[in-house]
A and B are shown apart, each in its own frame.
Chain A
């Protein structure tokens, strides 16, 4: 295979310019691919080092551009990471663009063996109904010793470790509003 290609090439190459220099035109062959992308500085979402990253998106943020992530690299100004990244940070683009990301809310009905699509409004309405029914059904106003405890042991809620502090505060407000005593985060496990 390779030899045959070579034979063919000798003919082509010889017939062309064997021996003549092809200098400048070929020197321009690799374009710098992010020369006019939009750069946005941000923070890697994975581990606790929180490296600085620069996200390159298609276009200049004009109204009619749908910005797609075309490249991610380290932010050299960040005092800890200084532009470097680990393999996870260096492939952040994959995390944003890969094909298995979910597209719309889904529900798995009791006893079912498959997902069904559901609209946001319907999902939220059904969840709110579940939350209220469970809270009303399991609410413990006073414990066995008669002390006021106002808790909802029927609901457990976990999460928030890849989120902002602000989200975590909102989440705490929600568990407080619902009286949820069972709550935990990645910090435990």
Chain B
């Protein structure tokens, strides 16, 4: 989220798209309705289904799953065509004036630089034009045909309301109503927000959907302002934290990059990752990369990290290629992978903490087949999940017989993941039975492995033994101590670079990332969280809910990274002189000496004009043109990997060209001739993922007892399906059976001139639930398809056929 939950009350318009916030985040959704109450805000819901959000929205617009880019580009076009965009903001805070290389082009669905053989883009032609100092050339008039604004205008010109209707199936007049409401915020007086969730991320074009929304919001001048932003609603309590803290292979804590094989030394690594400023007025905050990285190495390797050994850089595992979700199981299934031109083994051992990959991953049959090849697996959970019992999956999952599965499976009981607050915030309740907290289990495994290496030696024992684990009780690391380690500690006397009066002696907690050093005198496990635990104590535990600004910021409630800032990019909430666009909803403002309001996303005493508003960007501006993505600098509509029509814009390049299909025998894709119906998956408010249906005698199983398939009334009539009867849904991967829920909330759409049906079902059930509340895994039907930037699977749009059971 760029803004906070409560901040949504400051919006004049809310576009809820790619998500169903009333269903999935009901408590956060109250602030949508508050906005309506206090500002007569208009809530627009765009969704393939008439959802619980749509039920209370001011305007509902249907859309075919997977076509959101066309819809959003249509809105961008509408804003530009009608002049309903915030021009002063666009000139001041975005990359609109930047000039792009004349080699950049777009033709028949492909951006310049596409290598058809590799299925990848070479991105050189997407670069900016630079002057002699290495700075980007700009045209403040926005008239140069190579400036970003003109290129964007040209790119979206094809997305007329008629084309939106043809691709999305959204009636033209409904689309225009949405456009009028949304673009009403393209000025200083009004603000709108866009909220989304997995309905955008889980597409083979997911990142570009979000990009399109960001472009729209930047044109409307809505980013960085209270009541604005592009707000992602995360599904799990701590997905954000897990991402910040390097849960994924490509990053280290604080979004530092995982080193790759070709970065032979710390110097080479830092040079590759520390950006140069692209404009004179760019603060280029990532220039501090070396401070963050060296402090991280000191936190992970402690005393073993010295200047002489590159602070332990060589011990860090390096990656070559992709190790994300789909590749984990693909490589597991195949038993090997190609890395840096050579063959390497795939995973033969697997550890999962509080995750249920058999249920979560697309193409469940492949998941079961992949796990069946493991030598060993550790499942840390508090209930018996599908993953824990994959070796006795029902027949339709087509796994091997148990006798043929060599995997030794350990199911360890934790009490953490359903009750993370029990660990240290709440000592009233002891761990039940023989349960241990996740960190105890983790520590036990690490310390036991270490023991073995100390006794027996083995492959590079230093990698295992050098990681610092100097907690008071190493078997039960105190989370307060860990938080201190993450927040940042002085290892020698440290002088604050911007305030000479602030001196920290060795062992003291630092105030924030501004005090981190690149010489090994500071340790910090995550620069982004720096300041959460200072000499003043644990700021995450603060409970003062005062809100003197009245904008729902709550600066003394817990801690919000970075630096306790509540609205990201808040410098953009003010104009060139530092005056708020809307004085009644000021993010920050310049008072002549410093920025006041929210914690400024800016050097606090830098007068307006010194730096661009987007301090993490090398150009200091918000990017309308994103040259770093893998599938194009502008969003372009591509059909889902399985789609009911060929792309009307460029039938030869119908789906995302940067996505490469998987090729194992389990990876099959269906054709529209055989599977004519569009299908999508979703969540219900009454259940949490694959988790709450395990609650024996739980009330949630009462209020949402079992799996169902939502079918449009007219399609049900055509097929003679009665409400409540059993039906079968079949995709190229498998088939599932369930109760038909016949409804008018789903309707046929006219897409590219033909009537197109859509159905859908929720994901929550599986074969490991409470008796009476089990069901098919939705992912039996979903394809091995994904976004080429985030490698998130395409759960939200695929093809099926439907029949009576």
Direct contact of A and B (CB under 8 A): yes
A interface residue numbers (CB < 8 A to B):
38, 40-51, 53, 55, 57, 61, 67, 69, 77-82, 84-89, 91, 94-96, 98-113, 115, 118, 120, 123-132, 134-141, 143-145, 147-189
Task: Provide the B444-474 mask, 1 if CB < 8 A to any CB of A, else 0.
Answer: 1110111111001011100111111100000
Quick check: B317 and A179 within 8 Å, CB to CB? yes
B340 near A160: Cβ-Cβ < 8 Å: no
From residue 6 to 58 of chain B, which have CB atoms closer than 8 A to chain A?
Answer: 6, 24-28, 30-31
Return 12 A-B CB contacts under 8 Å, by A number. A47-B233, A51-B27, A107-B408, A136-B459, A144-B343, A150-B316, A153-B346, A161-B237, A161-B354, A163-B353, A166-B482, A167-B439
List A contacts of B245 (CB < 8 A): 160, 165, 168-169, 172
Cα(A183)–Cα(B6), bound, Å: 33
Closest chain A residue, CB of each to CB of B264: A147
Q: How far is the CA of A76 from the CA of B300 in the complex (A)?
A: 39
Closest Cβ of chain A to B420, distance in Å, is 5
Please determine whether B239 and A163 come into contact, CB atoms closer than 8 angstroms.
no
Give which listed residue, A67, A166, A171, A187, contacts B479 with CB less than 8 A: A166
Q: Which residues of chain B are near A139, meaning CB under 8 Å?
A: 459-460
Interface code B324-351, partner A: CB below 8 Å = 1, 0 otherwise?
A: 1101100110000101111111111111
Residues B372-415 near A (CB distance < 8 A): 375-376, 378, 380-384, 391-392, 402-413
Given A80-B5, A169-B245, check contact A182 B467 (CB 8 Å): no
Query: Contacts A91-B698, A128-B449, A155-B350: A79 and B545 contacting too (C-beta < 8 A)?
Result: yes
- Check if B249 sits within 8 Å of A184, measured CB to CB: yes
Bound CA span A115–B389, Å:
9
Q: What separation, in Å, do the CA atoms of A49 and B25 have in the docked complex?
A: 7
Q: Is the CB–CB distance between B464 and A177 below 8 Å?
A: yes
Q: Report yes or no: A185 in contact with B239, Cβ–Cβ below 8 A.
A: yes
Q: Counting CB contacts under 8 A, is B262 at the interface?
A: yes
Contacts of B428 in A (CB 8 A): 38, 40, 55, 57, 61, 67
- B240 interface residue, CB < 8 Å from A? yes
- Interchain CB contact under 8 A, B248 and A110: no
CB contacts (< 8 Å) of B348 on chain A: these are 134, 138, 154-155
With CB as the reference atom, state the residue of chain A lying closest to B244. A165
- The answer for the CA separation of A148 and B320 in the assembled complex, in Å, is 11
Answer whether A189 and B792 are a contact pair too, CB < 8 Å, given A85-B27, A173-B469.
yes
B681-716, CB under 8 A of A: which get 1 and which 0? 000011110001011111110010000000000000
**Which residues from chain A contact B703 at a C-beta distance below 8 Å?**
87
Residues of A with C-beta under 8 A to B402:
111-113
Shortest Cβ distance from residue B282 to the other chain A in the assembled complex, whole angstroms: 29
Residues in B neighbouring A144, C-beta threshold 8 A? 339-343
Contact with B482, one of A77, A91, A170 (Cβ below 8 angstroms): A170
User: How many angstroms between the C-alpha atoms of A44 and B420 in the bound complex?
Assistant: 8
| Neighbouring B residues of A179 by C-beta, 8 Å | 317, 460, 463
Point out the residue from B354, B448, B459 that lies within 8 Å of A160, measured CB to CB: B354
Assuming A51-B27, A124-B445, A185-B242, is B347 touching A44 (CB within 8 A)? no
B185-193, B429-437, B660-668 - interface stretch: B429-437
In the complex, which residues of chain A have a beta carbon less than 8 angstroms from the beta carbon of B417?
Answer: 45, 162-163
A181's contact among B6, B319, B383, B692, by CB below 8 Å, is which?
B319
Bound state CA distance, A183 and B323, in angstroms? 7
Contact (Cβ within 8 A) B421 A42: yes
In the bound complex, residues from chain A placing their C-beta under 8 Å from that of B361 are 189
A48 to B198, CA, bound (A): 13
B residues less than 8 Å from A170 (CB atoms): 439, 442-443, 477, 482
Contact A100 B694 (CB under 8 A): yes
CA distance A104 to B412 in the complex (A): 7
Cβ–Cβ < 8 Å partners of A82 in chain B: 30
A132–B352 contact, CB under 8 A?
no
Judge whether A187 and B410 touch: CB under 8 Å. no
The reply to whether B434 and A120 contact each other, CB–CB distance below 8 Å, is: yes
For A94, the chain B residues whose CB sits under 8 A away are 695, 697-700
A94-B697, A184-B323 given; 20 more Cβ-contact pairs under 8 Å: A47-B25, A48-B238, A49-B28, A80-B28, A86-B26, A96-B429, A100-B694, A110-B408, A128-B449, A132-B456, A143-B342, A153-B331, A156-B349, A163-B354, A163-B438, A165-B526, A166-B479, A173-B468, A174-B445, A189-B793
A145 touches B314 (CB 8 A): no
Establish whether residues B238 and A128, one from each chain, have CB atoms under 8 Å apart when the complex forms: no
Interface residue B783 (Cβ < 8 Å from any Cβ of A):
no
Give which listed residue, B384, B426, B450, B452, contacts A100 with CB less than 8 A: B384
The answer to whether B486 touches A184 (Cβ under 8 A) is no
A111 with B404: CB separation less than 8 A: yes
The docked-state distance in angstroms from the alpha carbon of A182 to that of B687 is: 29
In Å, the complex CA distance between A126 and B376 comes to: 10
Residue B307, interface by CB 8 Å: no
Q: What's the Cα separation between A113 and B353 when bound, in Å?
A: 23
Q: How far is the CB of B79 from chain A (nearest CB, A)?
A: 30
- Bound-state Cα–Cα, A128 to B6, Å: 46
Query: Which residue of chain B has the shortest Cβ distance to A82 in the bound complex?
Result: B30
- For window 534-549 of chain B, which residues contact chain A by CB distance below 8 Å? 543, 545, 547
Asked if B27 and A188 sit within 8 Å, CB to CB, the answer is no
Cβ-neighbour of B234 out of A47, A152, A172 (below 8 A) = A47
Contact with A along B471-509 (1 / 0, CB 8 A): 000000101001101100000000000000000000000
Task: Tell me, in angstroms, the Cα distance from A112 to B406 when the chains sit together.
Answer: 9
- Across the interface, do B27 and A77 meet the contact criterion of CB distance under 8 Å? no
Query: Cα distance A126–B411 when bound, in Å?
Result: 13
Interface centre among A88, A104, A110, A177 (most CB of B within 10 A): A177
Per a CB cutoff under 8 Å, which of B237, B357, B438, B452 touches A45?
B237
B791 in the interface (beta carbon within 8 A): yes
* Distance A106 CA – B380 CA, assembled complex (angstroms): 11
CB neighbours (8 Å) of A118 from chain B are 410
Chain B residues near A162: list those with CB within 8 A: 236-238, 354, 416-418, 420
With both chains docked as a complex, state the minimum distance between the C-beta of A59 and any C-beta of chain B, in angstroms.
9
The verdict on B253 contacting chain A, using a C-beta distance below 8 Å, is yes
Q: Is B242 a contact partner of A187 (Cβ separation < 8 A)?
A: yes
A25 to B452, CA, bound (A): 71
Given A167-B479, A186-B242: A148 and B314 interface contact (C-beta under 8 Å)? yes
CA distance in complex: A95, B435 (Å)? 15
B451–A45 contact, CB under 8 A? Answer: no
* B3 proximity list for chain A (CB < 8 A): none
**Assembly CA distance A144 to B450 (angstroms):** 28
In the complex, what's the smallest C-beta–C-beta distance from B153 to chain A, in angstroms?
Answer: 34
Contact A48 B247, beta carbon cutoff 8 Å: no
In the bound complex, CA of A72 to CA of B345 (Å): 48
9 tightest A-B CB contacts, nearest first? A144-B342, A159-B353, A185-B247, A128-B448, A48-B234, A139-B459, A42-B421, A168-B245, A94-B698
Q: Are A157 and B352 in contact (CB under 8 A)?
A: yes
Given contacts A144-B339, A189-B792, contact A156 B247 (CB under 8 A): no
Task: Give the shortest distance, in Å, between A88 (CB) and chain B (any CB).
Answer: 5
Q: Are A131 and B340 in contact (CB under 8 A)?
A: no
Residues of A within 8 A of B261 (CB): 143, 145, 147-149
**Are A165 and B486 in contact, with the CB atoms below 8 A?**
yes
Shortest beta-carbon distance, A69 to chain B, in Å? 7
Q: B543's contact among A45, A77, A91, by CB below 8 Å, is which?
A: A77
Query: Contacts of B234 on A, CB cut-off 8 Å?
Result: 47-48, 187
Give Cα A41–Cα B543 distance, bound, in whole angstroms: 11
- Residue B252 at the A interface, CB < 8 A? yes
- Candidates A87, A88, A102, A120; contact of B381 at CB < 8 Å: A102
A168→B247 contact, CB < 8 A: yes
Question: In the complex the two chains form, what is the Cα distance from A27 to B458 in whole Å?
Answer: 75
A177 to chain B: closest residue by CB: B467
Given contacts A98-B695, A147-B318, A183-B248, contact A164 B420 (CB under 8 A): yes
